[in-house]
Structure 1
């Protein structure tokens, strides 16, 4: 018996259930999106294989012939291409799952039982595949959620057993992709504070390459979980086959990329099983986070736009909504402020023309005042000396100035010098017999403990209860976990997993009560940027490094995986570039300012005020448009990025000089992308500094074909280091 299913009709909802028959020979299960296909196959013995992953074939029946054209040698195990590989039986490669049964046996053999397809909506389908061990009462369900138009897949699994006793989970990956032989190039990322998202590309060699973190919180500090794999040759922006992968999880992750003796590639990704052996009770359901991936046969740009569309439509909180421009006080005051200083900054917020004032760190704690990062964290009452009339008075004054008010919190953390630490030492993550070790003078609260979850939720809830007009939360997370130990948990190997479950429970409670309040995801910069967290946040903070030259590179790399609407970019005093350069760079996302407005020169202030108006006119294209990376700063003197609306009628191009050597600039035209070849366009320069004029002739028109084949020169040079161009269709 052979069974096929395709993407179901757009006009109906349906559930299809397929159960194995005694006389079954094989069952083929193609999961098709607009351009791609992942094909599973259960053989006569009900082993589940992954027989194809790549560009969708015109005829689904052709998938059956894929295996016959590969002559790589014998499969000694019969499960070399397993869709979800288990350990302890025949598997010779890195497993996706490893267990010890209640009777002490370490083997697992998963066989296909049934699969079920349901329609979530007219674009989204969910496949569930049930696997069972024929000897032991353990069941694994594989989930494949496909987003047809976006060519995106989410994959995860659930594990359950009914054995007489506990089953120990040693490894529990979310996904186990198998890609037939060839050559593969990995583009991975590394970094540190202020040096996030540093790319590194290399050819994958035989053996296992592991991308992982063991930090517990702020998991992306050294090793982000996102990556790319190019097939046959390194992909470029517009050419080559490339897979983007990411785990939707904010804690310890692990991705293994294994190239076997026949040049096949396995990508196994999930929660890091480091120090996390999990004891699964009979009847308990263990569900993994989703592994996210998209495949492009036409280069990195297509893969990025797939993810951007998916994120805005399905994952990022309020991804199709509005965002608030803001003025932050951090670099203007740091911890040194009072009501009078903040009152002046609130007036500056209105003067500048942004939507909101954001009060950063230092507004709380009395016994141990928060006058630096060494004390007060965890004591979330207003500091009476700095703010005798409380946050409520500031919210009211902001409203009277015609702006909104937002506030910074770091509710997961605590300073040892705090009342919270004194009252609840049992709430702190620490080894009781070892010396405490601090990250930024602080420790992590034990979110595995429900009482701590209530406390952290209460920090946010109390702020909104007392200040209903509060408009924004900046949620920070500055510490990693040292000396991992929970006074609440009996089984310490559950700690890292239960901590993250606790965090998500808190965020779910917050969103249940405050579903639309904007929240920035911050973690000492970009230490926690992932789609597991971004379903609860409207935006993220890419880095504490706000030098605009550095930000061009940082924002460029983030743009491969995250849409511009999710990136919070602030104009600060970092760097030596003029205010125009700094502002232009920050406009490639969600614009904010962190400057002393009263210190701005008259022309600089006028420029910022005008730039905000310009930004308000183009922000919809930046946030919701298709993004095209035109000129890479890592290989060119000029960085160039285009955002274009869906109708291909209007867009904006950001151009920056990234090399200070003599005579550098845009010597060659920059080829555009994403235009309609048959349309005519006019290009004009915008966001000019007061008193300057453009060298661009805004009266000329160009065909889309010309601009994509020949290009356009933005005339970037040392005297014009930042050039913003508006491109519009001429009818």
Structure 2
């Protein structure tokens, strides 16, 4: 069993293959956290609790004269506000009588077979590995508020997923003002924090900082998980590297406002609380109503950041992603956006498709501009019918022409948005999120539809479904091109307006579920101005997300590097684009752009008709190479060999097949130097007993030599050169 309850000592232990998580029902029913780390056997870890009297840290009334018992110093599983713990908490409730306190004490626990399902929210599910669920019931007796804590254990993947439910068992309405998903307590402050910050077109840039006394917080108030901060943080030992040191990874399965609060307190203990951002959150609970939090994934690695990442990659691919394209090979595509923007017609699109087909590309994706009066980003959003001025034969004729070339067809949508210059807005202005009496904040000249309303979702589903049914559409890129503000729903009473942000996210999940279940053969790709909603929850509905609107091959090295700490390569949408690059103006060799884009779901963003004959041959070779490497890239183990950050002159990464018979090394030189030493690095993940042949020159190496002594190559000359090296086992 993964979950063990010691009734005599009131200790609950969660065991995974490599880790142990332990908690204890302490004095007076206080649920205490004891330990999370490398696996231990047959030991109650309460010896780690050293209680003492700390000045200005008060004591529960139950403790009588015992001044060593204080909620302000004890490590807890789910701390609450207003009862003598002055650190960051997980739950803040305004009770029916206006008071602001809730003191949850242990009632009981239950072990259930299978993974817990959260109503209306994406979460991990049973697949090839069955989860096991622990449910802990707690109660605030004076108010009859009930709290349920859920721990889902995936033992073989070393993952524990946590969420919470609060139920109003009283007679009056209560208002949630903070409700986090989980808390993790660590006994000392000797940790560093890694988080992933950024901006539009430069997302998920790694930053590593030492902890300070006080609170460090990362999060989003933008209505989405955002370009600016990704909903995942890492705590690691100062000596942690890819292969050595301790680290804890926490990743929230949620697409809206979030917060990760990391506090080192007066006693040097560390508390991490993760969940919905409380600043923009309220939720009213009438008697009998309940609220469920998003799920938080946690993993521990005692052997470095690489092992932590592998745990997340495995659980996301197997127990979060769903649908036909979860493991099926995805087509290599050409997207017309950077080739045409809004200026296209049927002939131009067919011309791009024709050239793409000759080079072996398998799908054409028609991006923004095919619907309504959409000739710029100032009009037409919300009018989901084909613009027959551009596509004379409608969508059906275009798709038939593309299919005749032997290619599949995909299309771009932005269902959550509306332009004021649109038929939809003129007919339903109250469907947009705007505040009465105030002019709204525009972004990209568009407003946000109120997705908390079922009639809005019904319109979007019905109108876009009609388009998808009108032709042989096999791929949909779902975009979302602004942050959310002016948050007011015309159908909610004033006391519930604090619920709109969260209800919006629930509405998006409902709409995505309707689309993916109604069109199971369509490959859906998530997007939000690129990586503005690159989070685990979106991967529950679409197995890949457009990684960034920045398609520059050199910038993408850093973006894709940061992305890899939580997300598998199969989740990354990555394409080769034209030069000079449209975001940076940089000129990077076509070969290098291809190597970088192969760290994901591969495609092109350019007009292939503008390439020289030599360049077309390069594209043709890239397409064939990617098809040959596909299983290795998408299904193999991923290793970061050299970082694009810091003073390194090159970036390198590696894929290894599950049976360790093949490996592919990818390398991009970002700073060519005169009279430079060789580039040297060690491979990882191979079988030390196997012998491997380098396919490019036939040389033979042992796995132990490649991993322990490494390999070196001469510095390659030129602007941003790249290399790929494939090794195969020999008998």
Fold match, TM over 0.5?
yes
* CA displacement at 1:62 relative to structure 2: 4.2
For the 8 Å contact 2:258–2:276, the answer to whether it is kept is yes
- 1:322 equivalent in structure 2: 329
Residue by residue, what CA displacement relative to the aligned partner does 1:318-372 show, whole Å, maximum 9, x if unpaired?
A: 432221210111111110011111121221221121111000000111xxx2111
Q: How does 1:624-663 map to 2 (within 5 A)?
A: 624-635=635-646, 636-663=648-675
Could you report, residue by residue, the CA deviation over 1:560-593 in whole angstroms, capped at 9, with x for unpaired residues?
1111111111100123112111111111111001
CA contact (8 A) 1:638 1:659 kept: yes
Work out which of the residue numbers 407, 412, 415 in structure 1 matches 2:411: 407
Contact 1:49-1:79 at 8 Å conserved across structures: no
* Alignment CA distance shift 1:385-1:604 (3 Å): same
Query: Is 1:43 matched with 2:26?
Result: yes
Aligned match for 1:475, one of 468, 475, 478? 478
- Partner SS for 1:526: coil
SS at match of 1:108: coil
Of 375, 380, 387, the residue aligned with 1:383 is: 387
Residue 595 of structure 1 and its aligned partner are, at CA, apart by 1.5
The structural deviation recorded for 1:637 is 0.8
State the partner residue of 1:672. 683
Residue 80 (1) aligns with residue 74 (2): yes
Among candidates 533, 552, 556, match of residue 557 of structure 2: 552
Conserved 8 A contact 1:257-1:267: yes
- The structure 2 residue matched to 1:464, chosen from 463, 468, 486, is 468
**1:398 and 1:706 mapped to 2: Cα distance?**
50
Aligned to 2:264: 259
The equivalences for 1:452-601 within 5 A come to 452-467=456-471, 469-490=472-493, 491-573=496-578, 574=581, 575-601=586-612
Further displaced range: 645-654 or 61-70: 61-70
Does structure 2 retain, via aligned residues, the 8 Å contact 1:644–1:650? yes
Q: Which residue of 1 aligns with 2:58?
A: none
Structure 1 residues 525-546: Cα deviation after superposition (integer angstroms, max 9, x where no partner):
1100111111001211111111
TM-score, normalised to structure 2's length? 0.92
Output the CA distance in 1 between the equivalents of 2:703 and 2:431.
Answer: 61
What residue number does 1:706 align with?
Answer: 705
Contact 1:185 1:234 in 2 (8 A): no
| C-alpha distance in 2 between matches for 1:72 and 1:241 | 30
Separation in 1 of the partners of 2:215 and 2:181?
18
Q: How does 1:230-241 map to 2 (within 5 A)?
A: 230-231=236-237, 233-241=238-246
Report the Cα distance in structure 2 between the residues aligned to 1:174 and 1:303, rounded to whole angstroms.
Answer: 21
SS in 2 for 1:340: helix
CA shift in 2, pair 1:704/1:71, >3 Å: farther
Q: Which residue of 2 aligns with 1:730?
A: 730
Q: Which one of 37, 61, 70 corresponds to residue 43 of structure 2?
A: 61
Contact 1:153 1:294 in 2 (8 A): yes
Q: 1:420 aligns with which of 413, 420, 424?
A: 424
CA distance in 1, matches of 2:351, 2:247: 51
Whole-angstrom distance in 2 between the partners of 1:186 and 1:61: 29
Residue of structure 1 equivalent to 2:2: 7
SS at match of 2:200: coil
Gaps of 5+ in 1: 1-5, 9-15, 686-697
1:714 and 1:723 in contact (8 A); partners too: no
Q: Partner of 1:12 in structure 2?
A: none
CA distance in 1, matches of 2:310, 2:441: 43
Report the equivalent of 2:453: 449
SS at match of 1:61: coil
Change in Cα spacing, 1:440 to 1:663, as seen in structure 2 (3 Å) is farther
Q: CA deviation at 1:547?
A: 0.7
SS in 2 for 1:606: helix
343-352 or 558-567, which deviates more: 343-352
Residue 662 to residue 730, structure 1, CA distance change in 2 (3 Å): same
The residue number in structure 1 matching 2:285 is: 280
Cα-to-partner distance string for 1:45-76 (whole Å, 9 max, x where unaligned):
2111111111111x232434333699999553
Map residues 108-257 of structure 1 onto 2, 5 A cutoff: 108-120=102-114, 122-217=129-224, 219-231=225-237, 233-257=238-262
Give the match's secondary structure for 1:191: strand
- How big is the alpha-carbon RMSD for the aligned residues of Structure 1 and Structure 2? 2.0
8 Å Cα contact 1:41/1:48 also seen in 2: yes
C-alpha separation between the residues in 2 aligned to 1:333 and 1:294? Answer: 44
Contact 2:30 2:106 in 1 (8 A): yes
Matched residues in 2 for 1:386 and 1:358: separation?
Answer: 16
From 31, 45, 60, give the equivalent of 2:14.
31
Residue in structure 2 matched with residue 695 of structure 1 by the alignment: none
CA distance in 2: counterparts of 1:323 and 1:71, whole angstroms: 61
Partners of 1:72 and 1:262 within 8 A in 2: no
Match of 1:395 among 394, 399, 409: 399
Paired with 1:248 and 1:26, the residues of 2 have a C-alpha distance of 33
Q: Which of 592, 602, 605 lines up with 2:613 in the alignment? A: 602
Q: CA deviation at 1:104?
A: 2.4
The CA deviation at 1:661 is 4.2
Tell whether the 8 Å contact from 2:516 to 2:541 is kept in structure 1 after alignment.
Answer: yes
What secondary structure is seen at the aligned counterpart in 2 of 1:713? strand
Q: What 5-or-longer segments of structure 2 have no aligned partner? A: 56-67, 115-125
Contact 2:82 2:101 in 1 (8 A): yes
Q: Deviations over 1:489-527 (max 9, x none)?
A: 212111111111111111111122123421111111110
Contact 2:240/2:247 (<8 A) preserved: yes
In structure 2, what is the equivalent of residue 613 of structure 1? 624
Paired residues of 1:216 and 1:252 also in contact (CA < 8 A): yes
Distance 2:411 2:161 in 1: 34
**SS of residue in 2 equivalent to 1:164:** coil
Instruction: State how far apart, in whole Å, the 2-side matches of 1:515 and 1:77 are.
Output: 50
SS in 2 for 1:159: strand
Equivalent residues of 1:178, 1:265 under 8 A apart: yes
User: Which of 337, 340, 349 is the aligned partner of 1:333?
Assistant: 340
What's the TM-score once normalised by structure 1's chain length?
A: 0.92
- Cα distance in 2, alignment partners of residues 619 and 643 from structure 1: 11
